[in-house]
Structure 1
Amino acid sequence: MDPNLLYWKDHGQSLFSRLRIWVSLLDPVSLLASDAEIQKAHTLLGSGEKVDEKDGDPVILSLSSVHADSGAALPLVFRPPALFPVSGPLVFASFLPHSTVKPALFVQLLLQSYNAGFSHANRNSSSEQGKQMSVKQLLLMAGAVSYATCVGALPQILVNRLRVRSAAIQTFCRLILPIPLSAAVAFISVLTVRREEAETGIQVFDSSGNPVGLSKAAGEKAVRETALSRAALFGVSGAVPNLLVLFLHRRRFFQRNSLLVTPLRHISAAVVLGLMIPVSFSLFPQLGTIKKEMVKEELKAAAGDGLLYYHRGL
């Protein structure tokens, strides 16, 4: 088992402990580290040796930058600390009231492409080691991005194509409808991009960290948990700023000073997204467990304590 997964096994089984770890891991300063520094940190974490202060914290650098299946450094823009700096501006832009459909589609295309890339880079790749990306996987990602782009821009499409003039319907399309759509799109995107994990299975481990085989049930559980966490991230991040705008529009002070609503919306969106990223990452353990009753017969004997472990991905 990879040193990253062993660390999560020892320190990340409770929600509070996972949240505390993720708050540290999402420090964007770690993005400045070179691949050599990252690999050194990963090696130090696996060796268990005492670390010199000049080497920094190998735990933070390894967990935030190394893929737990391949042991290789993640692409810079798809590392967890890069999620907020990259996706934050795109999320804000996606909730803006665009004058035409094209800008809405363009912003959604950028946002959904990045989300699909992040999900793919941080997937469980235990069954794909040494293999190149298949044509099927490319088609799944392209389909997920295309579908998510169109659905994400649906509120703007409805307003423009139907020529909606009613203030109430415009408010519904721009502030209410994007909330469930954001959660649904995020959920379906993860399910689609990581579909092969459920079809081919992912590596499961016994309580000692030894690999015992591939399990489709574990793959389905890992993908489903990640999809739920991503839906929570974008659903809540869209709900709070939009509902805040609805609330402020009913207050007389903001009716007289409507220009204050927009900056408050952007500030609340930034705060909520920043808070929800570690919360959503912490909802389910990185090293998940599955009961032996749920796996195929030949793997049950390895579940000495009744459980097998798997890397959930992100």
Structure 2
Amino acid sequence: MEPNVRFWITERQSFIQRFLQWTELLDPTNLVISIEKIEKSRQLLLTNEDASIHDLEDQSIQEAWKRSLSTVHPDNSKLIPVLFRPAALLPFTAPMVFLSLVSVKSLKSMILPQLSFYTYNTAFNIINGNASYNRHPYETVLLGAGAIVSTTFFGLVPRLLQIKFALRNILIRKTLPVIILAQVSGINAVASRSFEPVRGIEVMDKEGNVVGYSKRAGTKAVKDTATSRVVLFGTSALIPEVFSYFYKRTQFFLRYPSSLWTLKLSCTILVMGLMVPVSFSMFPQIGRIQYSKLEKEIQSATEETELFYNRGV
């Protein structure tokens, strides 16, 4: 069985345990691990099938699990590209979220942050999504391009409305971009992984044996991931806006108005630094689905009461 799948199936963790686990997997040093070290870690795990991350007496086993879980895709056992590993999400998207909410008048200044944000998110969702279904490279490219164009357009809607109608109500002017950003981030996850509910993804028994392909499991996987994205980017965009609203009423801001951008960017990074592991921990990495909720074809192929599938990051 693929070691990462084995880990997430056997380690039945609570939300707190998953959160603590993700704080380790999101360590930026996981972006610079050499391929040689990753291969050695994987070999160690493959030759020690009973190895547990809770084996406190063996530091090498713990380190091997961290390297494997943070760099290798559980469906195809391939290395995740460095720029799209889970640890890369924060440093790449935090500045984009900040720039997406900055009030600008130039159309170019509005489009570039939105285009960059949804391009990266689309690639991240596709690469870290479930990879157990059949797909051709050109299908992935077309799907990604469609997701980027559509979500970038919807992301620009609040800015275009502000220009056209000159919104005066400060509550609408500040909250509308945040709401749109959160909702479109969820739509982006659904759009970029829309093949999963259509073609179905692998479902496995507790031994890792594939018993079939389930569209219902694919739907649940995409829905859970989209929900986590809404929470992640919605919270990360809302709190800095609330912070800046009150900060503008302080004497310090009146004396140093240029400090707003620095503090707002710092607040965005700090909030996202907390929310990324929270969002990844909301649902188990290897999801569980009851036998009775699956298609009849799969029910007839197994007697297991509970099956497993890769939710994707």
CA separation of 1:139 and 1:233: change in aligned 2, threshold 3 A: same
The answer to whether residue 28 in structure 2 is matched with residue 24 in structure 1 is: no
Letter of the aligned partner of 1:48 in structure 2? Answer: N
1:75 CA drift (Å): 1.0
Corresponding position of 1:87: 93
SS of the aligned residue for 1:192 comes to helix
1:58 counterpart residue number: 64
Contact 1:205 1:308 in 2 (8 A): yes
Are 1:269 and 2:268 an aligned pair? yes
2:156 is aligned with 1:153: yes
Q: Paired residue for 2:44? A: 44
Q: Tell me by how many angstroms 1:283 deviates.
A: 0.4
2:70–2:86 contact (8 Å) kept in structure 1: yes
Q: Give the unaligned 5+ runs of structure 2.
A: 52-56
Give the CA deviation at 1:140: 2.4
Distance in 2, matches of 1:55 and 1:226, equals 29
SS at match of 1:214: strand
Aligned to 1:106: 112
Query: 2:44·2:61 contact (CA, 8 Å) conserved in 1?
Result: no
CA separation of 1:244/1:132 partners in 2, compared to 1, >3 Å: closer, same or farther?
A: same
1:69 Cα shift? 0.7
- Checking the alignment, whether the CA contact within 8 Å between 2:159 and 2:177 is kept in structure 1 is no
CA deviation profile, 1:124-172 (whole Å, cap 9, x unmatched): 11122xx53243x33322121112212222232223344x2x6x44663
TM-score normalised by structure 1 residue count: 0.90
Q: Percent identity?
A: 36
Displacement after TM superposition at 1:252 (Å)? 5.7
Counterpart AA for 1:92? F
Identify the range of structure 1 (40-49 vs 223-232) with the bigger mean alpha-carbon deviation.
40-49
1:140 alignment partner in structure 2: 143
Matched, 1:218 2:217: yes
Could you tell me which runs of 5 or more consecutive residues in structure 1 were left unpaired when the two chains were aligned.
Answer: none
The 3-state SS of whatever aligns with 1:29 is: helix
Contact 1:204-1:310 at 8 Å conserved across structures: yes
Whether the 8 Å CA contact 1:112–1:149 is kept in 2: the answer is yes
Equivalent residue runs for 1:184-203 within 5 Å:
184-203=183-202
Distance between the aligned counterparts of 1:68 and 1:182, measured in 2?
29
Secondary structure of 1:177 counterpart: helix
Q: Is the 8 A contact 2:291 2:304 kept in 1?
A: no
Partner of 1:6: 6
Q: Compared with structure 1, are the counterparts of its residues 56 and 284 closer, same or farther at alpha carbon in structure 2 (3 Å cutoff)?
A: closer
* Change over 3 Å in CA distance of 1:263–1:70 after alignment to 2: same
TM-score (norm 2): 0.90
State whether structure 2 residue 284 is matched by structure 1 residue 285: yes
